[in-house]
Amino acid sequence: MTAELLAVRAKDFHYRHEDGTELHFENLDMQVRQGEKVALLGSNGSGKTTLLMHLVGLYGSANQTGIEVLGCHPVRDFRRLRHRVGTVLQNPERQILAPTVRDDIALSLRSAGLPEAQVRHRVEELLEQLHIKTLADRVPHYLSGGHKAKVAIAGALALEPELLVLDEPFADIDPLCTHDLVELLEELNRSCGTTIIMSIHDVETVATLTDTVYLLSAGGRCVASGTPQEIFSQPDVLEHCHVRPPVLGLLRQELLRRGVALDLHLRVDEAVEQLMPLLKSAPEDEG
């Protein structure tokens, strides 16, 4: 895989938080292709957020080696990267600063020195794209968790970044809003080629949204990487990392326990296609 096709490289490193917590990112060989959708999966304490904060240059030091983002060093080249990388924090309130939704989305555009007419046009585009036009003049503080997440994502997308980094974007939002955000990220990736890296607990979303998963155990060790299908086919490894498989993964395990070896897909529509021939061939009950 050539360097020019990679959005992110990350190798083993060690980090000590101010409270003394140490994370040892071992067995880590992260190579994220441009346009790839990647999930960091693991229990609390596995270092998902810490790893993401290194990628966006908020943690780490100028002399740290082993991490490269869009061909740059995330700390030394922070100013060069800030318009190429969009970041969404786990708590959106920490990055929503303006008195209205419209003003907040415009912050980075104005900071970049764009003409006001261009700022207004881009803000309207994002309000439309994220279906939040009715919130434009609302005070962000009073919005729901899902709406705050959308506002934070709109701000992160304002300058059309090549890489979008999201820390638990589906935390504390309802299933309907999760569905909307998944569709938004898929469309963004499909239409713009945006590379997406996220930390996530929602295994059902991991199974359907991402191309590659990096599974982290407590303390930061990378114990596995691969497609969602490959990761969720390793029940012992998942249990070691305190991660429960998605429902269709559990179904696959139960079928296997009963002697039916079926490499079941993790998307519902694909799983149905696999199961239908078995259901049709099953003998009918003779009542």
pLDDT in tens, 65-75: 999 999 999 99
Q: pLDDT tens-digit profile of 116-154?
A: 999 999 999 999 989 899 999 999 999 998 899 999 999
- Number of folded domains in the chain? 1
253, 245 contact by CB (below 8 A): yes
Region 176-191: mean pLDDT is: 89
User: Is residue 12, in this structure, part of any structural domain at all?
Assistant: yes
Please name every residue paired with 197 in a beta bridge, in sequence order, or none if there are none: 38, 165
For residue 140, how many other CB atoms are within 10 A of its CB? 21
Give pLDDT, residue 259. Answer: 73
Span 79-89, pLDDT tens digits: 999 899 999 99
**Among the listed residues 92, 104, 56, the one whose alpha carbon sits nearest the alpha carbon of residue 171:** 92
Of 159, 166, 158, the closest CA to residue 195 belongs to: 166
How far apart are the C-alpha atoms of 250 and 253, rounded to whole Å? 5
Containing structural domain, residue 107: 3-227
Count of beta carbons in the 10 Å neighbourhood of residue 215: 24
Is there a contact between 178 and 205 (Cβ–Cβ < 8 Å)?
yes
Look at residue 171 and tell me if it is in a domain: yes
**Domain annotation covers residue 76:** yes
Q: What percentage of the chain carries pLDDT values higher than 70? A: 90
247 within some domain: no
Q: Where are the alpha helices (DSSP H) in 41-144?
A: 48-55, 78-81, 101-111, 116-129
Query: In which band, very low, low, confident or very high, does the pLDDT at 283 lie, cut at 50, 70 and 90?
Result: low
**274 is a domain residue:** no
Q: Is 170 inside any structural domain?
A: yes
Is it the case that residue 13 has pLDDT exceeding 90?
A: yes
pTM over 0.85: yes
pLDDT at 4: 53
Residue 20 has pLDDT above 60, yes or no: yes
Please list, in sequence order, all residues whose beta carbon lies within 8 angstroms of the beta carbon of residue 87, skipping any fewer than 6 positions away: 56, 95, 156, 164, 165, 166
Residue 175 — very low, low, confident or very high, per pLDDT cuts 50/70/90? confident
In a domain, 125, yes or no: yes
Q: Identify whether the C-beta of residue 159 lies closer than 8 Å to the C-beta of residue 108.
A: yes
Residue 266 falls within a domain, yes or no?
no
Residue 27: in which H helix or E strand, if any?
strand 22-33
- Residue 173 in this model has a pLDDT that exceeds 90: no
65 Cα distance to chain centroid: 24
Q: What dihedral do alpha carbons 205, 197, 85, 161 form, nearest 10°?
A: -50
**CATH code of residue 20:** 3.40.50.300
Instruction: Express as a percent the part of the chain with pLDDT over 90.
Output: 66
